[in-house]
Each structure stands twice: as structure tokens, then as C-alpha cells.
Amino acid sequence: ELKVEQNPLFLSMQEGKNYTIYCNYSTTSDRLYWYRQDPGKSLESLFVLLSNGAVKQEGRLMASLDTKARLSTLHITAAVHDLSATYFCAVDSYRTSGTYKYIFGTGTRLKVLA
Amino acid sequence: DTGVSQDPRHKITKRGQNVTFRCDPISEHNRLYWYRQTLGQGPEFLTYFQNEAQLEKSRLLSDRFSAERPKGSFSTLEIQRTEQGDSAMYLCASSINRGESSYEQYFGPGTRLTVT
């Protein structure tokens, strides 16, 4: 069964500091996604990672993918308060039926302190 | 491009009633997804469509749940004989296969269901 686990579940960090969120998944995946969710809001797509070694950056966030290790990371550089949110990774997995299954991680609730 | 829209945004119903939610995807998107999210959890996949075909259905989707996308455009999610455990946010997303952003999902605002 495909499982997606994130670490840590909760993260409180000071402004200006760097930190990394980890996303492990249990089986082969075709694509890995990172999303942001603000309280009471829907999900906003941040990154789509398609292949081993893929790295994408937007502002203070950088995501990478290691398909051999089944690991993705979301690195936060010089955190600012506006980055406070819950971050989800998600994978889709091709099934022998020819369809896809989509699994989200547990989420990492990030709070950036001034 | 007005984004993914969902209607209603909030629904309060009594246990045992039927409810139907609507999702309008981004116009050129051929895939449409339904998820359920409870407080403090990640979205749980329910089902997805490619055009009008329903391609995958989660075991979470009991026989009380049904989804349709009759003309490959908007979709409806119906819950029959609602139970208190159905209380959640129901999220719709859509996507299209487009190069580097292959099947990137764009989410709607969600429909919050409360079953009393």
C-alpha cells in the first residue's frame, strides 16, 4: 500500500533561519507534488517534480526529488512570517489497471516566529 | 481562467439526508479530482475523471457516495443517507497534462459539509 510520510509534523522556527521538511513515500511514483495550505483555505500548488534529481526553486522555497531513496525535501531559506502554513507533499502512482492513485502526506504545520 | 469553483461553499444537513456538491474545473482541464479533508489531516483521494470517464475510485468511497462528470466538464459528488462521519471539507481539483507542470492540480475553495 502506498504511504506518504512527512517529517516533522510540526515546525516552529525563527525568522531568518533555514530548515528542511522531508517527504518519504513507500513505492514507486511518477510525480511528486508540494502544496501549501493556509488555515481555512484550499491548497495552492507549489512544485511538481517529475524525475530523479529534479530541483525546483521559488523564492525562499526549494524542492528536490530522489526517486531511488523515495524521498523529497522542501528546503526553506531565511524563513519569513508569511511562510507560516501547512505544507503537504503528494505522490501519484501508476497502477496496473492503467489508472493513477493519489496520496497526500500527513502535512507539516510550519510556524515562523518573528 | 477563473479557476476551479465549487458550490455550495458550506452545507449543513441532518443525518440521513442526501447532499450534492458541484465542481466546475478550469475550462481546458481534462482531469477532475475529488478529495475529502478532515481537520488536521491531508486530503484523502476519493475519485478522479479523465474527461467523462471515472478512472479510479477509492475504497473510502462507500456505496453511499457517487460522482459523475456527464459531459466531461462540471462534476457532481452526491452523498446519500449522510452520517456524522461524513462531516468534512470536500475538495475538487482539476489538471491537464502540460509539459513540465504535468498534471499539476489546481484546487477549488472546497465545500464544507456539516452533518448534524
* pLDDT computed for residue A51 by the predictor: 82
> So what's the pLDDT on residue B103?
78
- pLDDT confidence bin for B100, thresholds 50/70/90: low
Q: Is residue B101 classed as helix, strand or coil in its secondary structure?
A: helix
Sign of the Cα torsion B50, B94, A88, A79 reads: positive
Inter-chain CB proximity A104 and B109 less than 8 Å: no
- Contact status of A92 with chain B (Cβ, < 8 Å): yes
The per-residue pLDDT for range B65-88, each reduced to its tens digit, is 999 998 889 999 999 999 999 999
Position A27 scores a pLDDT of 79
> Mean pLDDT over residues A100-112, rounded?
91
pLDDT of B101 strictly over 70: no
The DSSP code sequence of A36-103 is EE-TTS-EEEEEEE-STT-EEEETTEEEEEETTTTEEEEEE-S--GGG-EEEEEEEEEE-TTS-EEEE
Contact B104 A45 (CB under 8 A): yes
Put simply, the chain B residues between 22 and 51 with a CB less than 8 A from any chain A CB are 33, 35, 40-45, 48
Of B18, B37, B30, nearest to A43 by C-alpha is B37
| Range B6-25 average pLDDT | 98
Q: Which residue has the higher pLDDT, B35 or A28?
A: B35
Q: Percent of chain A at pLDDT above 90? A: 70
DSSP B109: -
The answer to whether A3 contacts chain B (CB < 8 Å) is no
- Which among A12, A18, A10 has a CA at the least distance from the CA of A113? A12
B1 pLDDT more than 60: no
Distance of CA B99 to the CA centre of its chain: 25
